[in-house]
Amino acid sequence: GTVMDAETEQPFPGVQINVKGTLIGTTTDVNGAFSISVPEVGTTLVFRFVGYSTQEHLVTDGMTELNLRLFESILGLEEVVVVGSRRLPRLVKDSAVPVDVFGPRDLASQASTDIDDILRTQVPSYNVQRYGIDDEATLVRPITLRGLSPDNVVVLVNGKRRHRSASMALLASSLNTGSQGADMNMIPSIALGRVEILRDGATAQYGADAVAGVFNMQLRENSRGVHVRMQGGQYSEGDGTNFMAAANVGLPLTSNGFLNASVEFRDADPTVRSGLRRDEGLLLERGYPGGSTNTPDFGRDDPPAQVWGSPDVSNSLVGFLNAGLDVGSNMRIYAFGGYGQRRSEGGFYFRAPGTGSARSSVFRFGSGDSAVRAVADLNQNDDIVCSDVVPGLDSDFSAVQSFISQYSGQCYLFNQDFPGGFTPRFGADIYDLSATAGISGGPDDGFRWDLSFGYGNSDIDYFIYNTVNASMGPDSPTEFDPRGYEQTEMTVSASGSLPVEIDAFATPLNVAVGVEWRREEFATYPGDEDSYRVGQYGEQGFSVGSNGYQGLNPKFAGTWDRPNFSAYVDLETDVTERWVLGLAGRYENYYNDFGSTLTGKFAALYRATDRIRLRGTASTGFRAPTPGQANLWALQTALAGTGDQLVETGQLPPTHPISAALGAEELTEETARSFTLGTVMDISQDLTLTVDYFDITLMDRISLTGNIPITSTMQMIMDEANLLGGVENLREIKFFSNDFDTRTRGIDFLLAYDVEDEEGNATQATIAWNWTTQRLVSFSAPRQISDFLGQQLSTPFTLSLLTPRRQIEIEAVNPEHRIVMMGRHVRGALHGMLRLNYYDGWSACRNNSNSCVDGNDMSLLDDYDGAIIADLEVGYRLFEGYQISLGIDNLFNTFPDAHADETLSQGNIRPESTPWDYNGRAYVLRLVADLF
């Protein structure tokens, strides 16, 4: 027979067809056609596809053909999934592991076009912060799943591993500092047929890093039809205007294949949620120009000197192809891949041109009572000593201007070119390329095999402008290309599975085996020469390199790679009609690095009754340090002390002599033990309940240390040893370390009601609750540093790699409780959706200060209240294939609490990062069309 899509009247490929109560099954081909042998008359065939209503049809006497249409529905627990098991696809409720499934309707019903935000509003255990000023983390936001970083999550596309981004979140929050995960925004949401989220440790099945879970992005496979989506939106504050246009086209590839193409264009203007900095207010009182003289106006009459808000995203274009061609009997050639690019730009910290907070080594020399205005002596051979005649830091603007006029050509102040100070603008051009090709074959009831090759590349070229290389004085440019990062991965895999008949078991034992070779490479590219140049005024104390994000010196650029080989065995069967058991084991060898590992997993499902299922898993896992984490050099500007001073911070490899002198060791793998126990209950035909408890112990976690201060004595020793290649003004360093162990526990709860009548009217209501708590089990003890690079220090000091800030934020920066309540109703041409997201309270150090907790003094540790964020959408089907909808995210314009003491802030009235979008209410208008 043939299966058609009821709405588009197009053939429906990929529909799962099973003989009810058995494992006999097949799927429709690219033309929607299927053929299946049934054991007897009276057999019931079940037709399923994610996002569509399941249908059952009785085979009657003499029936040889069955044609039907599937209707789009709201998702429940009847979806067919492929992630989490290597048997034939099964229902979510029959899986021994917890899996969430989201279809096109779920992915489209959001004001945001950012897939991270889309998933955050639907999966309570999925969190992503929005960062205002955090270098790379502002451009590629790191996520957490069940409290663990993106390094601990594997992303698949069509079941094949996707490469990670070249970006490392060096200044992100404590849960994911230094993480390097995949950039899922380089996959257009319109290309996705569904997203499957496996919330369980799966290293034994999918390889290194699958400690928290696995995302499988399943691409559309339709061979006909054109689907178009356009939407535009804006925040109620009047900024953040965004636009998205996307299209998906299905084409036949001969009569036995499909070519599915998707393209998505996005543009998002920046937002501004800043207040007036304390020093900016003082400067205005003393006659200095305001912030509008040094930053874009963002459409405002009074832009602040320092901007906190969402970045400016432009030139965002992502395309994806997915193709399959059936050749011969039970054999398919397939290929998929995509290209994406975007420019993302945000702000940095304001460089004040006066007062005690004037930017060190640009507008100021020294600190505290000894601080003086920084002035360059352009001619040290004349009689004028510029430092003797320059006005003090507290002088008003007129005195500074008078000095500039009087001593022009003899003395130089950066006030001359930046009278109101300056705020660097930082961003990157981000490029992404991926391609996978393979061939698979075999009948559903026989030996099935798959051979594939995959390639992925992420290329990030950073830029910074509206800043200076202060050591070059008046000759400094104001735009720089400080460095580039590139991540490249190649994967070759071969797998096979065979159902083996064993009389003792209720179903055949599915035996799956596979081998995989993977190579991961990380490269860093030097910046333009002026971005790291030591100019002639460096000797006078001016900072070297592009201020805010120093250029990478060619001496420290390089390419590092790591190959690894793995082999796995995965067994699964219905031992009895009630018991399903699975056992998997995996061997991985990183043969030019830290050696080999063995991981395993046991999974079980018990059908207590026809309506109640119990399930549980136990597994071991690991995460390998990335080549980037093991070898990266970077120089950045970060807050120090209590968060009111900016200093140059160096990121060094853990194997560097300076890092080793402070206790660093070569990175090893993280290891994990995890357990889950849960239940699935069909309370009624329309009401289902799932509850899962999880417990993950993660040991030797890889993360960045806190910023370690460099004393003047240590700086002198480093200079003598020439270990930094001429880098000057370095005040702090940090490096990656296997430093601490954590235990993460929680509960995932889902109650889902889903009903639909014969006329297509449907109602769905869900309540999803997640409780996640993470606690430090152990971490390295403070160590006494009395010897540095072979020389005794006159003043030894105590060093803690895990700062008090990080100790607190690891346990408290994410809300412990999250609840998502959603109701959706479709009646005729109308549809509506209301979603409530509850976020529990959380704690964070103000301005990301390292020392927000000092003994019993917690004055800089802020506690924030939780909130309920309401989203609303209403839509109307204009006529067949055309639909318009209006959505409002954050309906009640709910913001996080303000800082307890705004005068200490860096212009951010509210916390530096938040678990929900801190921009407030957003509106979106969306048009969806199925053209033919």
**What would the DSSP string read from start to end of 433-471?**
EEEEEEEEE--TTS-EEEEEEEEEEEEEEEEEES--BGG
For residue 408, what are the contacts with CB-CB under 8 A and spacing of at least 6? none
- Helix, strand, coil content of the chain in percent (nearest 5): 10, 50, 40
Residue 14 clears pLDDT 90, i.e. is over it: no
Distances (CA, A) of 687 to 14, 320, 378, 508, 683: 27, 37, 79, 32, 5
Task: Give the C-alpha separation, 445 to 452, whole Å.
Answer: 22
Give the residue, 50 or 254, on which the prediction is more confident: 254
547/482 Cα distance (integer angstroms)? 10
Instruction: Please tell me the distance from the alpha carbon of residue 508 to that of residue 635, in angstroms, as a whole number.
Output: 58
Q: What is the pLDDT of residue 898?
A: 81
Distance CA 353, CA 404 (A): 14
Calpha distance 667→699 (Å, rounded):
13
pLDDT of 51 reads 63
pLDDT band at residue 718, thresholds of 50, 70 and 90?
confident
| Residue 338 in this model has a pLDDT that exceeds 90 | yes
pLDDT of residue 76: 45
Please state the φ and ψ torsions of residue 447, each to the nearest 5 degrees: -75, 120
What tokens does 908 get?
């951010």
Distance CA 116, CA 128 (A): 7
pLDDT computed for residue 636 by the predictor: 64
> Higher pLDDT residue, 926 or 296?
926
Element (H, E) at 425: strand 425-441
Tokens describing residue 309: 């808000």
CA 766-917-315 angle, 5° bins:
110
In this structure, are residues 607 and 575 in contact, taking their beta carbons and an 8 Å threshold? no
**Of 902, 912, 916, 766, the residue nearest 841 (C-alpha):** 916
- Give pLDDT, residue 171: 67
Lowest mean pLDDT among 111-115, 331-335, 458-462, 575-579: 111-115
Can you say how many angstroms the Cα of residue 842 is from the centroid of all Cα atoms in its chain?
20
Instruction: Kindly indicate the confidence band of residue 426, based on its pLDDT and cuts at 50, 70 and 90.
Output: very high
Q: How far apart are CA 645 and CA 673, in angstroms?
A: 41
Which pTM was predicted?
Answer: 0.90
DSSP 609: S
What does the alpha-carbon distance between residue 688 and residue 864 come to, in Å, rounded to a whole number? 34
H-only helix segments in 180-251: 203-206
List pLDDT tens digits, range 605-655: 999 998 999 999 999 999 999 999 999 888 765 545 444 455 667 889 999
Q: How far apart are CA 729 and CA 707, in angstroms?
A: 15
Tokens of 278: 């304390």
| 800/488: higher pLDDT | 488
Average pLDDT over residues 874-883: 90
In 3D, which of 357, 479, 470, 476 has the Cα closest to residue 426?
A: 479
Using alpha carbons, select from 815, 806, 812, 828 the residue that is nearest to residue 757.
Answer: 828
Q: Are strands 67-70 and 2-5 parallel, antiparallel or unpaired?
A: parallel
Amino acid at 39: P
Mean pLDDT of 36-48: 85
Query: Above pLDDT 70, what percent of the chain?
Result: 90
Yes or no: say if 766 and 820 are a contact pair by the CB < 8 Å rule: yes
pLDDT tens-place string over residues 137-193:
778 888 888 888 899 999 999 999 999 999 987 765 657 788 899 998 999 999 998
Q: Which class for 807: exposed (0-12), middle (13-18), buried (19 or more C-beta within 10 A)? A: middle
Is residue 835 pLDDT above 70, yes or no?
Answer: yes
- In which residue are the tokens 């889309």 written? 118
CATH architecture of 93-273+308-350+423-930: Beta Barrel (2.40)
Backbone angles phi, psi at 834, to 5 degrees: -125, 130
Dihedral of CA atoms 407, 408, 410, 416 in degrees, nearest 10, equals 100
For the CA atoms of 113, 115, 118, 122, what is the dihedral angle to 10 degrees? 170
704 pLDDT tier (thresholds 50, 70, 90)? confident
- As separate numbers, helices (DSSP H) first and strands (DSSP E) second, the chain gives 12, 52
pLDDT at residue 213 tops 50: yes
72-83 residue pLDDT tens: 665 444 565 667
Q: How far is CA 28 from CA 77, 221, 618, 754, in A?
A: 21, 11, 35, 26
Q: Sign of dihedral through CA atoms 356, 360, 365, 370?
A: positive
Q: What is the mean pLDDT of residues 285-307?
A: 73
Ramachandran area for residue 329 (φ above 0: left; ψ -120 to 50: alpha; else beta):
beta
Per-residue model confidence (pLDDT) at position 23: 61
* Residue 849 structure tokens: 């200060």
Average pLDDT score over residue span 841-868: 71
- Whether the per-residue pLDDT at 105 is higher than 80: the answer is no
Residues 739-763, mean pLDDT to the nearest whole number:
88
Q: CA–CA separation, 303 vs 352, rounded Å?
A: 15
Look at the block and give the residue holding tokens 């197009």. Answer: 10
301: confidence class by pLDDT, cuts 50, 70, 90 = low
Mean pLDDT of 197-209: 92
- Domain segments of the chain as ranges: 93-273+308-350+423-930
Instruction: Kindly state the tokens that stand for 266.
Output: 């996005």
Identify the weakest region by mean pLDDT among 40-54, 205-219, 259-273, 497-511: 40-54
Angle at 680 between CA 202 and CA 772, to 5 degrees: 55
Report the half-sphere exposure of 828 (CA within 13 A, side-chain side).
Answer: 3
- Average pLDDT, whole number, for the chain? 87
Whole-angstrom distance, CA of residue 108 vs CA of residue 102? 10
3 state DSSP class of 87: coil
- CA atoms lying within 13 Å on the CB side of residue 433: 8
pLDDT at 18: 81
